[in-house]
Each structure stands twice: as structure tokens, then as C-alpha cells.
């Protein structure tokens, strides 16, 4: 579709907004109330933040070791850390593990990836692009009014509540739109251009994001003795491709735009294979 310019250039933005404002909130309200309060709810959150912290430390160390520029380092600190936990995580993990995995995906995405994107991502852009100082009030407001986050808070309050059949049908129909719309939006934004000079930071980013991050998640799960659906979802989420929005943020901030786009684009393609390997290793 991108190749033949079937859609307008604004199409990915429109599709993204539909997923954020309609599909994701519907899926969250449909799936999360089915959960019950337990320690399992904390597993995706704990794994997400440990994986991101370890990945960030390793990325910073390797960037200094190889002498990457400040712009390249800033780019890697975004795209090698933040995972595509919803737009790719939902369709891929749903295909592997079924509908019962969706609620844990939402917990990982909102309390892990989304909060990190809002807090950590904003700090990285401000620090590496010489932007204005981080405004915590603006960040807090963005988090508080983000539709999927609001839906998650509401869904957690409704845990154990059974909706009427017609409400379930509406939520089910709307939530089903996320897989085709999200994948089309991802495809329309794919960029696969890469120069030879960028091969080293490109390799560093994808090795950390697609191999080391899920290995860290696997080790955390082993360390705490977690071997359940919540931990399996978290391991797969940790190994998803780099977040598209993180690549866009890096590009807009002038942090190696072509490199950022290439890491995200190739990361999506490679993650179809690496995620399968990690799924296979857990079963």
C-alpha cells in the first residue's frame, strides 16, 4: 500500500489515532475486567521496567565504547529501549497465545511502555537534542488524558464486573479493528533505507532490542520463578520491534532521523522471526 501510494501521506496518523482513541480503549475495557487482583498483575510491570533499565545502561555503555555521536546515542536511547508493545505486540502475541493474553499485554503496554515513553522518552529528547527543559506538569497531563490509560484505570476499577451482552458485542467489534488497522498503519510507516556508516549503531540497537531485551526478561522470570502467561507475554513484549512513535520522536528531534527510521523498519521485519524463536523456546 505504501509502495503504490494507495493511501494519502496522512493516513498513518489517522489510523494511529483511531487505534488510540477507539480500538485500544475498547480492548482494554473488554479484557482487563476479566482479570482478578493478584501478584500476576505486577509481573508485566516489573519485567518491563527492569528490561528497559538494563537496555538503557547497555546502550549508553556501548554508545560510549564505540564513540557514537550525541545524536546517534540519543536515537539509540529511544529506539533500542522502547518496545512496540501495542501496534505489533497485540497482533503477534494474540496470534501465538490467544485472547487470554490480551489483558497482560495492556498492563505491559500502559504501565510499562507508555509511562516510559512519556517520562523517559521526553527526558532523552530534551537532553540529547538541546530542547527546552522537561516540563513534568505537561507530561503528567498527557498521561492523565491519554485515552488507553484512562480506559485502563476505569477497567481496573471494573475488575470482576460482568457487562451486559450488547455492551460486550460493541466492545468486541471495536477491539477487533486493532489488528488490521495497526498492521496497516505500521506498514505505511516502514522505512528501510540505511547507509554503510550507520551499520554499527544499527546493529547495536537491534541486537539489544530483539535479542538481549527478551533474554533479560527471560532471566528475570527465571530468577523470580515466574512461569505463567503473564511472564510469557512479558518476555515476548520485551522482544518486540522498536516503538514506531519513539522513532518518529527521534526523527522530529533531529536525532539521526534516517538511522532511527531504519532501525524501526528493519526491527519490525526481524522481530517476526526473533519473537517466534523466543515463543518456541518457552514451549
Q: What is the CATH number of the domain that holds 157?
A: 1.20.1530.20
Q: So what's the pLDDT on residue 210? A: 97
Which of 35-39, 107-111, 182-186, 257-261 is most confident?
107-111
Query: What is the secondary structure of 186-235 as a DSSP string?
Result: HHHT------GGGHHHHHHHHHIIIIIHHHHHHHHHHHHT--SHHHHHHH
Average the pLDDT over 209-222 and give the result: 97
- Answer positive or negative: Cα dihedral of 123, 124, 125, 129: positive
Q: Which domain holds residue 66?
A: 11-281
| Residue 3, in any domain of the structure | no
pLDDT higher for 209 or 251? Answer: 209
Whole-number pLDDT of residue 97: 94
Contact indicator for 106, 28 with CB cutoff of 8 Å: yes
Please tell me the predicted confidence (pLDDT) of residue 235.
Answer: 97
Instruction: For residue 83, give the DSSP letter.
Output: B
- Least confident interval from 1-10, 236-245, 246-255: 246-255
Indicate the pTM of the whole model: 0.85
**Whole-angstrom Cα distance, residue 156 to residue 29?**
9
Which pLDDT does position 132 carry in this prediction? 56
Please give the residue that has the higher pLDDT: either 198 or 186.
Answer: 198
Q: What's the pLDDT at 131? A: 58
> Residue 4 domain-assigned?
no
Q: For 46, what's the count of Cα atoms within 13 Å in the CB-facing half-sphere?
A: 14
Rounded Cα gap, residues 261 and 194, in angstroms: 9
Q: How many domains does the chain have?
A: 1
Q: Look at residue 37 in the predicted model and tell me its pLDDT.
A: 80
207 in a structural domain: yes
> How many angstroms separate the CA atoms of 221 and 211, rounded?
16
- Distance (Å, rounded) from C-alpha 73 to C-alpha 200? 12
Closest residue by Cα to residue 78 from 117, 23, 31, 26: 117
pLDDT grade for 123, boundaries at 50, 70 and 90: confident
- Residue range 217-244: mean pLDDT, rounded: 95
Residue 158 — pLDDT band, cuts 50, 70, 90? very high
- Rounded Cα–Cα distance for residues 40 and 48 (Å): 13
* Mean pLDDT (whole number) for 27-47: 89
Cα 185 from Cα 189, distance rounded (Å): 7
Lowest mean pLDDT among 7-11, 138-142, 212-216, 223-227: 138-142
Task: Say what the pLDDT of residue 133 is.
Answer: 61
Cβ atoms 250, 74 nearer than 8 A: yes
Residue 170 resides in a domain: yes
Per-residue pLDDT at 197: 84
The count of residues in the chain is 283
Burial of 136 (0-12, 13-18, 19+ CB in 10 A): exposed
pLDDT at 154: 93
Average pLDDT over residues 67-91: 94
Q: Is residue 111 one of the residues assigned to a domain?
A: yes
With respect to residue 2, please indicate whether it lies within any of the assigned structural domains. no
Mean pLDDT of the 54-73 span: 96
Task: Supply the angle between the helices 165-175 and 24-31 in degrees, to the nearest 10.
Answer: 140
Is 5 domain-assigned?
no
Q: What is the DSSP letter of 177?
A: T
Say how many Å lie between the first and final Cα of the chain, rounded: 35
Per-residue confidence at 278, pLDDT binned at 50, 70, 90? Answer: very high
Check the CA dihedral 210-129-13-28 and report its sign: positive
The pLDDT of residue 67 is 95
The mean pLDDT value of the chain amounts to 90
Amino acid at each position: 500500500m505504501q509502495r503504490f501510494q494507495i493511501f494519502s501521506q496522512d493516513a498513518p496518523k489517522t489510523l494511529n489515532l483511531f487505534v488510540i482513541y477507539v480500538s485500544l480503549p475498547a480492548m482494554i475495557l473488554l479484557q482487563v475486567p476479566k482479570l482478578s487482583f493478584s501478584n500476576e498483575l505486577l509481573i508485566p510491570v516489573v519485567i518491563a521496567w527492569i528490561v528497559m533499565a538494563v537496555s538503557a545502561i547497555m546502550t549508553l555503555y556501548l554508545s560510549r565504547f564505540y564513540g557514537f555521536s550525541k545524536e546517534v546515542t540519543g536515537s539509540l536511547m529511544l529506539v533500542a529501549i522502547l518496545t512496540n508493545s501495542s501496534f505489533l505486540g497485540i497482533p503477534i502475541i494474540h496470534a501465538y497465545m490467544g485472547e487470554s493474553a490480551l489483558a497482560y499485554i495492556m498492563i505491559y503496554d500502559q504501565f510499562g511502555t507508555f509511562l516510559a515513553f512519556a517520562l523517559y522518552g521526553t527526558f532523552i529528547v530534551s537532553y540529547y537534542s538541546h530542547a527546552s527543559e522537561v516540563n513534568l506538569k505537561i507530561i503528567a497531563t498527557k498521561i492523565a488524558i491519554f485515552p488507553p490509560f484512562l480506559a485502563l484505570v476505569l477497567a481496573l476499577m471494573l475488575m470482576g464486573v460482568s457487562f451486559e451482552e450488547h455492551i460486550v458485542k460493541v466492545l468486541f467489534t471495536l477491539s477487533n479493528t486493532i489488528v488490521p488497522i495497526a498492521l496497516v498503519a505500521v506498514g505505511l510507516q516502514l522505512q528501510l533505507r540505511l547507509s554503510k556508516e550507520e551499520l554499527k549503531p544499527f546493529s547495536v540497537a537491534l541486537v539489544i532490542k530483539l535479542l538481549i531485551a527478551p533474554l533479560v526478561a527471560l532471566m528475570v522470570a527465571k530468577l523470580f520463578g515466574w512461569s505463567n502467561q503473564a511472564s510469557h507475554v512479558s518476555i515476548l513484549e520485551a522482544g518486540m520491534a522498536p516503538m514506531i512513535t519513539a522513532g518518529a520522536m527521534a526523527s522530529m528531534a533531529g536525532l539521526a532521523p534516517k538511522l532511527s527510521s531504519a532501525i524501526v523498519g528493519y526491527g519490525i521485519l526481524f522481530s517476526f522471526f526473533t519473537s517466534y524463536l523466543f515463543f518456541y523456546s518457552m514451549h
